[in-house]
Amino acid sequence: MATPATTGHGAHMFLRVAVALQTLMVFVQAVSAGLLLSAPYGEALHGIGARVVFAAAMLHVAAAVAVRRRGGGSPRAVLYAAGFLGLLPAQVVLGIAHVTALHVPLGVLLFGMSVLQFACVLAARRARAATAA
């Protein structure tokens, strides 16, 4: 059974929540992009979603740094979190400039990166649980 000892400290939980929110919100961006192309309120939803993705990505970096400081995370996790955050301004500029030919593929790439980051966080949790068992 999962206990605090096997699932890690609060920073690990913070990291899982931040990456889950980031991944969910990038998916929601794809949904609101469909609405943006087909409904009058879609643009507003996509704009709000863009801000939430940004907030989640910043939380992700903060959580990855917190886990690292407590000696539980790899420097690569911080680098990947920062890399994701670093790509977002490009995504926003491409969206505002209507460069759809690059904005949509970069959105798909961001979703793929986020899913991988989430998979890594879950795998690390399983590894900690196995070590503690």
Binding site for ligand HEM (CB under 6 A): 26, 29-30, 33, 36-37, 43, 46-47, 50, 53, 88, 91-92, 95-96, 98, 100, 103-104, 107, 110
Q: Which is nearer to ligand HEM, 98 or 131 (CB)?
A: 98
The values of phi and psi at residue 38, to 5°, are -135, -10
Q: Which is nearer to ligand HEM, 73 or 95 (CB)?
A: 95
Q: Closest distance between ligand HEM and the C-beta of residue 75, in Å?
A: 25
Q: Closest distance between ligand HEM and the C-beta of residue 23, in Å?
A: 11
Tokens representing residue 80 in the block: 């990947």
Q: Which is nearer to ligand HEM, 30 or 65 (CB)?
A: 30
Q: Closest distance between ligand HEM and the C-beta of residue 72, in Å?
A: 28
Nearest to residue 125, comparing CAs of 69, 73, 57?
Answer: 73
Q: How many CA atoms are closer than 13 Å to the CA of 53, on its beta-carbon side?
A: 27
Tokens representing residue 43 in the block: 């643009």
Quote the CA–CA distance of 81 and 40 in Å, as a whole number.
33
Quote the CA–CA distance of 17 and 25 in Å, as a whole number.
12
Q: Which is nearer to ligand HEM, 8 or 107 (CB)?
A: 107
